[in-house]
Amino acid sequence: MAVARFWRENASRYNLIGSRCGVCGRIYFPPRSVCPTCHRRSIGKMEPFKLKGEGEVITFSIVHDAPSQLEMQKPYVIAIIKMDEGVNITAQVIDIDPTDVHIGLRVRATLRKISDEGAAGIINYGYKFMPL
């Protein structure tokens, strides 16, 4: 991966910056350079869009069989969070007893260090979510 792309993607991850299509207004996260709905019409019209960082749990699972680098944290919760802007993000929910997580739970993004990025499967981002 090119260095520039690496840093751009990391900046996006750490600041929750997606993109908004200047044609149809749809919001994407991670950011896209072309809108899958508008195709060529959206070229050059995609704008950076910063997510507020708040949303709610729409589905989740409690993971008991954690990969080794998460050994200290299990069981832990992986949830799909519907951000207030309408995009879904898959991430870990922290600072809550796993049995207290429920659909509709309001959460906000928080930056947490993730060790061995890329080795943790679906945990792709440098942030986690905690209850509001």
Interface residue list for Zn ion (CB under 5 A): 21, 23-24, 35, 37-38, 42
Q: With respect to Zn ion, which residue has the nearer C-beta, 49 or 127?
A: 49
Sheet holding 46-50, edge to edge: 27-28, 17-21, 46-50
What tokens appear for 43 in the block? 């070229």
In the block, which residue shows the tokens 């945990």? Answer: 123
Q: How many CB atoms lie within 10 A of CB 97?
A: 8
Least distance from C-beta 15 to Zn ion, angstroms?
22
Q: With respect to Zn ion, which residue has the nearer C-beta, 35 or 123?
A: 35
Give the helix/strand (H/E) hosting 127.
strand 127-131
Least distance from C-beta 49 to Zn ion, angstroms?
12
CA distance 37 to 59: 26
Q: With respect to Zn ion, which residue has the nearer C-beta, 24 or 58?
A: 24
Least distance from C-beta 31 to Zn ion, angstroms?
13
Q: With respect to Zn ion, which residue has the nearer C-beta, 46 or 63?
A: 46
CA distance 117 to 103: 27
Least distance from C-beta 84 to Zn ion, angstroms?
20
